[in-house]
A and B are shown apart, each in its own frame.
Chain A
């Protein structure tokens, strides 16, 4: 069985700017793998490449053995991507948005209904789903989008800062949902600034800065290696020494 994600010497340049500079990592099946790094480190670019919306400049990447360049169409059928600070269509109601997205993932009406019902359960928004998205708070929108991302039960969920801008309660709720879905067989590739979140959620972590991965390991391994109490200290130690 191939890994959920395999990335080898992946690079992405925008003209002279090298956003990702030859990174290599794997994500195992059912694993939650996190990319941690400061702003502009290359996290989002990496996730966008894995979500098939950006093409790499060089190197290779695959999802469940499918090549990111050659098999992008097939990859899109087994992944789901939550962009950072993404929005939904503001003039649609929450429920209409979920139905629209469900229809894009499946032609079968029954399957669509099943997925939408699952999303309704995850959002916990109840009757507010009938309201237009533009009336939602940031937390409500993020929950709606996370529900949309996972409702199809993708083999790989790509989550860019899944809890960004959310309060503690909403963040905890979203982390719990991600954990549960991973336990049910979903692999997760995510990025975050929040070290506590990463420590709680991730099986393994990659510390990325200036487009390069400097460390990969479980939170425990990294803490031991850098003799640190938490990932925040590890992160500081790694980024200041490199």
Chain B
């Protein structure tokens, strides 16, 4: 066993090189930097927005519109005279983002139930997300103003009228049912919550599995290339230790790398999401309670189950990678031999990202289920939907897959297949030609 740890230490040291850590740290720093910059810029969208209003009507109604805009974090510079061109030039000079022109006779026309147009000139200096968010908040404020005037007109025509009853005679009381659980909540809110909770999970799974597989194939191919594997296999070491140390080290380093990547990406994403959230979008206590009621909040056992699935997923991917690595003649061919595994990971990754696998036609669904790595990506949705039998089936399938491929790998290393597989591979290729 002592020799296993000697090998494990060596494998980790070989994988954690400066060449590997350098780009990793650089990517994280870049993510961190972009996250900060975007976050700061996005925070500015929450600041009061300066616009110019050319109020050619100058009445109580136009005054009400201006008051509503002020309540919506808009700082209007109101001008009651002049023409549009002057207002535009003035706005440009003052770095104001938009010009609203309330035409003369606006109030009179409105009171006569004649719809009026407010001209909105948006000064676009860029096409970034922050710019569109600012534009959106102005539209939102105008919509509130529209609603308010509409309500006033209705009340004016009949003081006993309830504008809401007139405009929305039908209202929905939403309930969501998941399995045996039910809660009084809007399904759009549930979908948004699930999306926000599970966005990172497939990315982490994908990153860890792909990295671990690449590491182990490169580890084997570089040993073959440098002929260090021959030395290692002629040493008095249990060959299963060699296989196990490669599996475990690649798993550890991949988990470490993925965590670092995730840290950087999370920082980047939180810079985007937290700053761009519209006011009032934060989940209130009632919604949170509904999510708990529906079982849509991950509990500690859920995370453990997810971890278990990922663990067996990594082991299964590594066991396939180590077998494929035996075909690699050198580090250059390492990427080529790992392609079948990448395809087996990419297909379920993209399918689960865009589709509901469980609702596919039976043939396609079972074809996806046949890919062991699909079960890793299906674990999180299955936990949320309470399909625990499917999760345990997936874990069992991954475990069997791992055992079979580890057995194949140990046979390859136990005999001379690790050196002769490439010869058979070439021969077959030649035969195919």
Contacts and interface: CB of A to CB of B under 8 A. Distances in A.
Interface of A: 14-15, 48, 51-55, 73, 76-77, 79-92, 100-101, 103-105, 107, 145, 148, 158
Contacts of B227: 83-87
B234 A55 contact: no
B419 A87 contact: no
B6 interface: yes
Contact of B236 (A77, A86, A90, A91): A77
Contacts of A148: 231
A158 to B, nearest CB: 8
Interface stretch (B10-18, B72-80, B290-298): B10-18
Interface of B: 2-3, 6-7, 10, 13-14, 17, 226-228, 230-237, 415-416, 419-420, 423-424, 427
A177 to B, nearest CB: 18
B17 A91 contact: yes
Contacts of A103: 2-3, 6
Given A83-B227, A86-B228, A89-B14, A53 B233 contact: yes
A76 B231 CA distance: 11
A146 to B, nearest CB: 12
Contact of B230 (A79, A86, A100): A86
A15 B420 CA distance: 10
A67 B318 CA distance: 34
Contacts, number: 81
Contacts of B14: 89, 91-92
A115 to B, nearest CB: 13
B419 A53 contact: yes
A15 B419 contact: no
Given A14-B423, A85-B227, A104 B416 contact: no
A104 B230 contact: no
Contacts of B10: 89, 92, 100
A39 to B, nearest CB: 17
A42 to B, nearest CB: 15
From B226, B230, B237, residue with most partner A Cβ within 10 Å: B230
B13 A15 contact: no
Contacts of B423: 14-15
B13 A79 contact: no
17 contacts: A15-B423, A48-B416, A53-B416, A73-B236, A76-B237, A86-B226, A86-B228, A88-B226, A89-B226, A89-B228, A91-B13, A91-B17, A92-B14, A104-B3, A107-B2, A107-B3, A148-B231
Nearest to B227: A86
Contacts of B6: 100, 103-104
A76 B234 contact: yes
B230 A48 contact: yes
Nearest to B2: A107
B261 to A, nearest CB: 22
Given A53-B419, A55-B416, 8 more contacts: A14-B420, A48-B419, A51-B234, A53-B230, A82-B231, A87-B226, A92-B14, A103-B2
Nearest to A49: B416
A88 B14 CA distance: 12
A88 B229 CA distance: 10
A85 B230 CA distance: 11
Contacts of B17: 91
Identify the 4 closest CB pairs spanning chains A and B, nearest first: A87-B226, A81-B234, A86-B227, A76-B236
A81 B230 contact: yes
